[in-house]
Amino acid sequence: MRKFYQTEWQNIAFSSFHAASSKTLAGADFYDAFYRTLFEKYPDYEALDPDWRRNKDEIADWLVTLLPDGARVLSVGCGLGYMEQRIWRHHGDRIELHVQDYASHALKWLRQVLPGDRIHDANGQSEGAQYDLIFLSAVDYALRDVELISLLAELRGSLRSDGSLLMISASLLEESAGQQFLGSIKEVAKWFLD
């Protein structure tokens, strides 16, 4: 994956709560501190940047168009779960959505929306669970290549025989904006899912 560096997100400077390093990837302590800071600053999803939310809404709505009714879906590394709450609120009657994240504080808002049996900790989903689609959105920046390869190989075992694994790269997030971004995602996914 292409490396990129970020010093803030959602108008929260990382230096305001954590010492920065250009030599190591952020770990669990960084993400826990970040999400605590984010939840102190913002009361809910609607307070987040409207352009960011609009892009995420488009991706979430498009993603659901790929799925048949009754599809079982797992989002891995969902963070604060904005796209997932969108999918649940607008399409939860059509698909069975499950989420997983590694930062325990990240899921605070999502826990208010999604049933508890659909939220899984870092150890993964229930034993033997099989999914029609597993997707990861912008998690590649937080993992070394070897860790990402290992994660994808592990997730493959949770796919049904005709299931799909889709990774939306953080590299696309940095290079694109608005419709360009969604267009890039659709082209990559079309190639990958065909």
Strand pairing of 72-76 and 96-100? Answer: parallel
- Condensed to tens digits (0 to 9), the pLDDT of residues 145-194 reads 787 778 888 888 899 999 988 888 765 554 444 444 445 444 545 444 44
Closest CA relative to residue 95, chosen from 86, 104, 82: 86
The mean per-residue pLDDT over the stretch 66-81 comes to 91
Report the half-sphere exposure of 13 (CA within 13 A, side-chain side): 3
Q: Write down the pTM of the prediction.
A: 0.80
Q: What is the pLDDT of residues 81-103, one digit of tens each?
A: 999 999 999 998 999 999 998 88
Say whether pLDDT at 47 is over 90.
yes
Using one digit for the tens of pLDDT, what is the confidence trace for 118-150? 998 766 555 678 999 999 887 766 677 787 778
